[in-house]
Structure 1
């Protein structure tokens, strides 16, 4: 995936029989997904203009350009949609796109490598960084708070963590 694009949503199947899709938005303001210009598939092979038609449980019912039938909408189930980074709103100094965090090396305040960020999750109480690395039998979920992650250095490709006692072996 190009660093010039950010995943902003995913198609969660068809909605109805007239070619609409159920669209899950990963945006801070969910309805903003339709305003980021044409959205592209991960490989960039297809692009869609998005028109939100109404909110539905878990997202929106939406029309995508070039999708006119239920069968076409069904075929897009699970497809992730990307926006050009330049179309997205600028971030403040302490904000990050999840795509920028995934893959960063995680070191503790003493410089010991703890692992790498595998994913970012939000279960409703704030973001959690899923960290996987050497010496870990399973992934560790680290709260993405200023107390637990005081420094994010995108240029260096790492973040410094001050995890709670006992979180890492």
Structure 2
């Protein structure tokens, strides 16, 4: 298992060691012991899974403290552009976005720490996304940022005019007026 640091502190891409042969492949997507060996000490308590069709854009979502979530995101089928935005006001990268291609083929995972907004766009025909969380969902603590906030300059890998976005995500505020408590 390898860890790739990004330009944003604590936001990392994890690449598992994949064992393949004529039957297919095997890899550990999560091992508490191996993650701790990489310096990642997180107790995950919930797994979530979504299925979406091409052109779907979900996010950017977060939960405020004390229900803030760390997420470990991976793709079971298809391809997505996975995006995290730093909401930690004391961070030198506050308001910066990072995007990475996650796919069933590359098997990479994005570890999105507490203090970040998270979202993804589906660029394959369909995609199944699974993510682990270290806190349970709490509706009263949820927040979000509008996916097309011009100050974030996010490349979602798709034409946003044709994006399939929930009504809820279409009315989220820009980062400069969001209710983030980080």
Higher alpha-carbon Rg? 1
TM-score (norm 1): 0.25
